[in-house]
Structure 1
């Protein structure tokens, strides 16, 4: 294990310099015994981190992690008492907390960090940690050899975004985590090949779509990573037998990784400028950065010229990435998800909607499996029944549930009955009714689905529209003109 001792010493010196400043400064009232005791706890927590680093140098990773966790708990307890202690400066705790978190992320341990995003799962389904991964897979915390923790400035905007993710956006963060875990086996390998951090992939996906594969923005950006149509074409995303591959998780991650690496080369590995280019356009960012390879995203000549959306977007992505790496340090616990991929061969005709009904809450999934099944089978219309023998992708943990719940028994019968039900059509004025047998034209818009179009027009049926337009598996594309049979 390689150890960067100069960096370790410099960070430790910085920590103890901060602590020394707590003892008293010229012109200030001497610290009270209670305040000195509180700063003593802070000092002890810092020494705990130093001990953890020494244990890591000696190759005792288990003891190092245990010492590290205890020191962090001690730091949290001491900081909690700061508010009620006269003269205590919370900012000193925040500064030390930030520095020690970076030590915990491995900034002083060479290539092997002491913490990743909890216990992760490899594409093969085996639990792994950062220290156990081969070098090519350590990009969970590395960006082209640089520590991700060293690239994220823990400044006001990022801290504000952390608060949003931990409060108002918390449900979105949790949904994004769960959705990502089921698609990880498709998306993460694309980032591994590109030598990019998994945390950045999660941060972008959490902010862009929350892991909803079929998300479409008002501007026409589509897919889990929200590619504009023209940008997607540049990186190989387009139409494949009528399917927009921007909605394919693996293809979207591949294209996203290629885009980020292209822009990282342009902006001298500046992650903040690269993310700003992804959101606000690379042309605009190149004009703002000019020929200044070291310019900061927060430089007024750059930051003040960006849209409010981009100014918020960059710290939001970085904050989500930081939480991916350090959830427990922010009192955040992501749910454990068995994301191992599986598949079933249909033994009876069924749609994704019907499977969602018959699977119910299998695997303790309160929200049901509709989103996951859609994400893993993005080419399928969720309302279209698939024939016997069709292969569907789903989490491996659901294979047994499908066999027990969706092949025989009452649940598939109920699901089919609900699926075949016809909603009553509202009464409309006679002048608005198209005569029986009449036809209308509808131009497909980005994000449309066949069932959505039929529901919007309140006439005909999905099967009838598919039959009249000779649609294969209900596939439609933006700009296509459909013939829609009138109300009968």
Structure 2
């Protein structure tokens, strides 16, 4: 791509995403508003015509062509900015214009091309022209500007080998593992603002972050392996401790914190690459197969690369599979269109959610429903709030990290109403009460909205005892839910350490801060 073509693509996109953050109202508009919309559309049409004429001049080597195209781009940026501030103006309409013009600019040709055949001649080795626009929507402004002006967005392509092993990995991600790839991408979108800046500051490609996370955890913050690796980047305890991760003063293991895990991962990778001739493949081999092994193999081979047989064969089969799979996921992150891959569009605008009544993340997942998503919001809330267990009882006033969409659904469905009551009923249900011990099964009554009652009898809940003896099969979290109190408070009152909250049958617990027994 020439510098001129890069300028054509970056300049309008930078303005567009800055303006997309301003909401528009598509409802009925007044005559005055409609007049404003018509004026903006007129300005956009004039700027488009001016831009097309400038492309013709550039194609004819006219020295005024570049100057005219720059001026036309500025006019379009002003029109998009005005649209973002004008009631009823649809930014998406102007986006269509931008796409047409970006296609016109490809290869410096002045002939228009609105055909769907645009993808037919795309080379998988070329940078995806839509990648920046798709992924920059929810990045903080400073990082967004730096990214859009940085012509090294696809520097990852030059740092790795695109070979048959990577192609085989791409095949796997696009067939049996396509669902996992899409889940990883959706999870990453919610975590991006917390994780990407660490890699950006470290000078590492964002694609590498995504590839590792997709292979390690599928973007599940609470993932834990049988070997003891934990968190979205799957750090072992000893390795994580070297890079600032571990149990903090509150008892929380920061390997589960996306921001801290990304920062540690970036530091770890840069340390490995410094030892291994800046080879991403060898750094990934160290990430999976052990840094000591990777360094010994590299030094013993005289500095040859990962794909040399005398290097490759010294790593276990798991690592031989891991390296190309991470690179393949990163490659697809950068080149989705070339492979017919459509990543999900996710609304990730951050907004704090203050609980208006006690509840848990599980309860919220029920009452929120899955409007606008396939799988609902349980994973999103868990990823954004790694310090809370999904079934921990959270008191009113607790503020959760969420999105504007989740906050709206909470206000609508989770505070009052039938769905809120149903979610509460389901969370308070106790399977043991369904077992007939004497007499017939009692009909479960509606949950009272004023006086707390037991699910099994409908009678008022008894006063909370001061102590409770742990029964076989119970966990601290299930006991906290049973007595409607915070798992963290219960743990603190009984000197039970997070994150495992280990308790034993027969252990007597102080029920401080709890409300009522079921």
CA 360–116 in structure 1, closer or farther in 2 if over 3 Å, else same = same
Residue 104 in 1 paired to residue 127 in 2?
yes
In structure 2, C-alpha distance between the alignment counterparts of 1:173 and 1:473, rounded to whole Å: 41
* C-alpha deviation, 1:166, in angstroms: 0.3
* C-alpha deviation, 1:485, in angstroms: 3.2
Query: Runs of 5+ in structure 2 lacking a partner?
Result: 5-57, 70-100, 436-467, 509-517
Residue 476 in 1 paired to residue 498 in 2?
yes
* C-alpha deviation, 1:66, in angstroms: 8.1
Of 215, 221, 225, which aligns to 1:213?
A: 221
- 8 A Cα contact 1:208 1:226, kept in partner: yes
In structure 2, C-alpha distance between the alignment counterparts of 1:133 and 1:187, rounded to whole Å: 18
Residue 119 in 1 paired to residue 131 in 2?
no
- 8 A Cα contact 1:352 1:382, kept in partner: yes
CA 169–346 in structure 1, closer or farther in 2 if over 3 Å, else same = same
Give the TM-score taking structure 1 as reference length. Answer: 0.69
Q: Deviations over 1:312-340 (max 9, x none)?
A: 10100101101001101001111111222
Residue in structure 1 matched with residue 311 of structure 2 by the alignment: 302
Residue in structure 2 matched with residue 175 of structure 1 by the alignment: 183
CA 270–422 in structure 1, closer or farther in 2 if over 3 Å, else same = same
- 8 A Cα contact 1:469 1:482, kept in partner: no
- 8 A Cα contact 2:356 2:397, kept in partner: yes
Residue in structure 1 matched with residue 418 of structure 2 by the alignment: 410
Residue in structure 1 matched with residue 13 of structure 2 by the alignment: none
Of 226, 238, 245, which aligns to 1:237?
A: 245
Q: Deviations over 1:378-410 (max 9, x none)?
A: 101211221111101112222211111111212
Residue 289 in 1 paired to residue 298 in 2?
yes
The DSSP-based 3-state class of the residue aligned with 1:104 is coil
CA 132–372 in structure 1, closer or farther in 2 if over 3 Å, else same = closer
Of 152, 157, 162, which aligns to 2:160?
A: 152
In structure 2, C-alpha distance between the alignment counterparts of 1:115 and 1:176, rounded to whole Å: 19
**Match runs of 1:380-459 below 5 Å:** 380-424=388-432, 450-451=476-477
Of 271, 284, 287, which aligns to 1:278?
A: 287
Residue in structure 2 matched with residue 257 of structure 1 by the alignment: 266
Q: Deviations over 1:224-253 (max 9, x none)?
A: 110001000000001121111100111110
State the number of aligned residues: 384
Residue in structure 1 matched with residue 324 of structure 2 by the alignment: 315
Of 330, 347, 351, which aligns to 1:342?
A: 351
The DSSP-based 3-state class of the residue aligned with 2:131 is coil
Query: Runs of 5+ in structure 1 lacking a partner?
Result: 5-50, 79-96, 106-113, 142-146, 428-436, 443-447
In structure 1, C-alpha distance between the alignment counterparts of 2:399 and 2:494, rounded to whole Å: 17
CA 220–410 in structure 1, closer or farther in 2 if over 3 Å, else same = same
* C-alpha deviation, 1:256, in angstroms: 0.4
* C-alpha deviation, 1:301, in angstroms: 1.0
* C-alpha deviation, 1:151, in angstroms: 2.1
Give the TM-score taking structure 2 as reference length. Answer: 0.65
The DSSP-based 3-state class of the residue aligned with 2:505 is strand
In structure 2, C-alpha distance between the alignment counterparts of 1:400 and 1:174, rounded to whole Å: 25
In structure 2, C-alpha distance between the alignment counterparts of 1:160 and 1:311, rounded to whole Å: 12
Q: Deviations over 1:12-33 (max 9, x none)?
A: xxxxxxxxxxxxxxxxxxxxxx
* C-alpha deviation, 1:439, in angstroms: 6.4
CA 440–332 in structure 1, closer or farther in 2 if over 3 Å, else same = same
